[in-house]
Amino acid sequence: MHLRQKILTAAAFSGALVLSALIAGGSATIIEKTSRKDVQIAMEAAGHSWVEVQTDGLQVVLLGTAPSEAERFRAVKLAGSVVEATRIVDNTDVESTEAIQAPDFSLEILRNDEGISLIGLVPATTDREKLVADLSALATDGQVADMLESADYPVPAGWQQAVDFALTSLKTLPRAKISVDPGAVWIAAITDSPAEKARIETSLARRRPADLKLKFDISAPRPVITPFTLRFLIDEVGPRFDACSADTERGRNRILAAARGAGAKGDLGCTIGMGTPSPDWARAVELSIATLSKMGAGTVTFSDADIALVANDTVDPAVFDTAVGELESNLPEVFSLKAELQKKPEAVSAAPEFTATRDAEGQVQLRGRVTDDLQRDTVESYARARFGATRVYGATRVDETLPAGWPVRTLAGIEALSQLAEGSVLVRPDLIRVTGVSGDTQASDKVARILSERLGEGARMDLKVSYDKRLDPTLNLPTGPECVARLNEVLNAQKITFEPGAATIASEGAAPLDALAKVLKDCQEFRMELGGHTDSQGGEDMNQRLSQQRAQAVLSALRDRRVLVGNITARGYGESQPIAENDTEEGREANRRIEFVLLDEKPIESDDAAASTPAAEAAEAAALAAPAEEGALDEPTDDTAPMEDAAPMEDDTPAADLPEDEGAATAEPAGADATQAEGAADPAAAGSGTDEPAADTAEAAAPDQPASDAADAALSPEAAAQDPAIEIPVAPAAQSPARPKARPADLAGPAEN
């Protein structure tokens, strides 16, 4: 009985336990389902559909990827409001976001008489205290307003280079606004004169690093033109201006359009200045040019409000009368017209003449006739006052039969000659002819203005005055000997190295090639020889062929750097012209070289020199294709890295985006056929081309005033013509004066090979 009671008691406890477990399990399941459902409904209602809800006993697990950290936080907080927060297990993720973009750094520098202001956003690494301290030396009373913001982001490529260029440029610009972006600089400035404007433009273009975009707008006060002069003619050469003045940019455009309508071609220039006699100046010029065009031949000259129209004797009198009548009827009231139809010349005795010539050295000779001894003394004294007391040579004779006004004509001719660097003046009773070159873009205008003012607007004159940029003092371009000296200085400072026994330029050759390209930007009009030389190791024929191939390789590398090489002839001399003994390593090192030799001091201005001829290209390709014999020359070297190309300049930048100016820009240089006869075998100052690395690897020292993107001196405007990354105006080229052929004085090498 007792045992049975124990069994029943145990069975009762076991049943109760099982029943409790069943009840507890059912309750937990109900809680899990309820919790998951309640949280899921809350998430859907709140727009958190990305949340997946799961339960594990009393724990509520949140899964899914939140669009942002804020969304994730809101979802977890919402779940904690539906069930006990301690039951929430957050297993959610957040979408990866892209790195925050770095801000656009920019700097604007304003400088005027009140001081300097800095505005913009710069990297946090910028030393603003040093920047302000450096600019304080330039600012009036040291006033520098620092309104910069900074951001702690990496410095973008090209930023520091652009800032350095801007700060250097600011030193020469007392009134300017300079905007700096990574890799680009934009400069707007005001100067005191057109000459200063041209100097600054050229300086900016020359100092610009090759990989920096540069745009500038330099303004200068408009000159006062007195008398306000314009001269347009149509002759056997064609329609053209000898002088042109306009009062506004719109007026200039109208005048140039009228000239082109009359058949004028090429680059036409017209000076914008103050002093016009009437706001109807452009209209009067348009009507006069159209009238002369109807006649077909003659000249029209404006001197303030006086107009002289002279038709050639070939013009039909009826056409002359009709055209002049229309012009007189339509000219604005302030203008006065004097029209003349030339008569056919009759056979007469030789007309008296007076000539004055000025050569390239500045020596002036006076020849021809004068009215008396007093006029002779007056003419010579006036010339000495203009050109220098020791530079004038007089050889005139007295002729008492000379026409009235002869002394005035001769003095006007001498004054006109003073505007030329080189040229001549011929004075006759019915004509003054001025021929020559000048470094002043406005020389022709000035000559026409002088003659019109001294002799009257109806004076017959023949002007052939051209502009030579190498005579322009604002550009300070090097002469031929200076060019060769600078090129060889670069090669002396850092040698061009080649792979052993080959014509492949080693990587170390990139730096001197870049420096040579800078110098050559201002020297492309001169005929030069690029000579290759080796030491005496190896066969003589092999050495000659290898030196030719290396000279051609350097020429090709310069062409790749956008240098016009049409005037440069590559020539290999092999071992024939040593400059040191070949029995020592130092001597062989010196003999392995590249050097430049000047073939002609006279610059060549030719349209077909802008590129090498097909013959030159073919010769170069053939030379480079011929393989060198392995091991024929020199010891092996380690300089076997491939040649590094210089960073190319950009071709997609507009060539001119600035307001036109009265001639501040210069001509694009041109050169001659690359296949011209080779000359001068004597080497210039030794450069270097070697099979071994140069001992002196110092940075090539480019001159202070090299070509379009070198140090201060100048793209102008000329640089712009050469470099499309600079936005500047360009003016037409002019024929350079003849100069004697010359070579460096210290050259006395062996005869040609």
Question: What is the average pLDDT across 575-603?
Answer: 89
On the question of pLDDT at 706 being above 50, the answer is no
Residue 217 lies in a domain: no
Task: From 593, 605, 628, select the one nearest 749 (Cα to Cα).
Answer: 593
pLDDT of residue 193: 81
Q: Are residues 554 and 686 in the same domain?
A: yes
pLDDT bin (cut points 50, 70, 90) of residue 349 is low
pLDDT of residue 72: 87
pLDDT bin (cut points 50, 70, 90) of residue 16 is low
Residues whose CB is less than 8 angstroms from the CB of residue 98 and which lie 6 or more positions away in sequence, other chains included:
none
pLDDT of residue 143: 85
pLDDT in tens, 537-552: 888 889 899 999 999 9
pLDDT of residue 376: 92
On the question of pLDDT at 626 being above 50, the answer is no
Q: Are residues 462 and 490 in the same domain?
A: no
Question: What is the average pLDDT across 267-279?
Answer: 90
Instruction: Decide: 68 and 54 in contact? Cβ < 8 Å.
Output: no
pLDDT of residue 429: 92
On the question of pLDDT at 473 being above 80, the answer is no
Q: Are residues 689 and 620 in the same domain?
A: yes
pLDDT bin (cut points 50, 70, 90) of residue 291 is very high
Sheet strands (E) in 528-567: 528-533
Question: What is the average pLDDT across 569-588?
Answer: 90
Question: What is the average pLDDT across 79-95?
Answer: 86
On the question of pLDDT at 240 being above 70, the answer is yes
Q: How far apart are CA 67 and CA 80, in angstroms?
A: 20
Q: Are residues 445 and 520 in the same domain?
A: no
**Number of helical (H) and strand (E) elements in the chain, helices listed first:** 17, 30
Residue 552 lies in a domain: yes
Q: Are residues 391 and 495 in the same domain?
A: no
* CATH number of 259's domain: 3.40.1520
pLDDT in tens, 397-418: 999 899 999 999 999 999 999 9
Instruction: Give the domain extent around 314.
Output: 229-341
Residue 347 lies in a domain: no
* CATH number of 509's domain: 3.30.1330.60
Q: Return the H-helix or E-strand segment holding 482.
A: helix 480-493
Mark which of 300, 320, 341 sits at the end of a domain. 341
Q: Are residues 394 and 509 in the same domain?
A: no
* CATH number of 359's domain: 3.40.1520.20
Q: How far apart are CA 729 and CA 714, in angstroms?
A: 14
Q: Are residues 558 and 689 in the same domain?
A: yes
Instruction: Decide: 534 and 546 in contact? Cβ < 8 Å.
Output: yes
Residue 604 lies in a domain: yes
Residue 273 lies in a domain: yes
Residues whose CB is less than 8 angstroms from the CB of residue 11 and which lie 6 or more positions away in sequence, other chains included:
none
Q: How far apart are CA 287 and CA 335, in angstroms?
A: 12
**Residue reference for tokens 């700097």:** 107
Residue 546 lies in a domain: yes
Handedness of CA 272, 274, 275, 279 (dihedral sign): positive
Residue 420 lies in a domain: yes
On the question of pLDDT at 724 being above 60, the answer is no
pLDDT of residue 192: 83
Q: Are residues 616 and 692 in the same domain?
A: yes
> Token pair for residue 469?
């940029």
Mark which of 97, 124, 153 sits at the end of a domain. 97
On the question of pLDDT at 512 being above 60, the answer is yes
pLDDT of residue 629: 38
Q: Are residues 392 and 299 in the same domain?
A: no
User: Concatenated DSSP letters for 235-255?
Assistant: SSS-EEEEE-EESSHHHHHHH
Handedness of CA 446, 452, 453, 457 (dihedral sign): negative
Residues whose CB is less than 8 angstroms from the CB of residue 256 and which lie 6 or more positions away in sequence, other chains included:
268, 270
pLDDT of residue 187: 94
Q: What's the whole-number average pLDDT of the chain?
A: 78
Tally of domains in the chain? 4
pTM: 0.53
Q: What is the 3-state secondary structure (H, E, C) of 422-465?
A: EEEEEEECCEEEEEEEECCCCHHHHHHHHHHHHHCCCCCEEEEE
Q: How far apart are CA 51 and CA 73, in angstroms?
A: 12
Q: Are residues 540 and 583 in the same domain?
A: yes
Q: How far apart are CA 434 and CA 467, in angstroms?
A: 14
pLDDT of residue 286: 96
pLDDT of residue 641: 34
Least confident range of 158-162, 494-498, 711-715: 711-715
Whether the ω angle into residue 227 lies within 30 degrees of 0, i.e. cis, is: yes
Question: What is the average pLDDT across 247-262?
Answer: 94
Of the segments 50-64, 177-191, 652-666, 713-727, which one has the largest average pLDDT value?
177-191
On the question of pLDDT at 506 being above 80, the answer is yes
Q: Are residues 493 and 621 in the same domain?
A: yes
Mark which of 97, 122, 153 sits at the end of a domain. 97
* CATH number of 50's domain: 3.30.1340.30
Q: Are residues 380 and 516 in the same domain?
A: no
Residue 215 lies in a domain: no
Q: Return the H-helix or E-strand segment holding 45.
A: helix 2-45
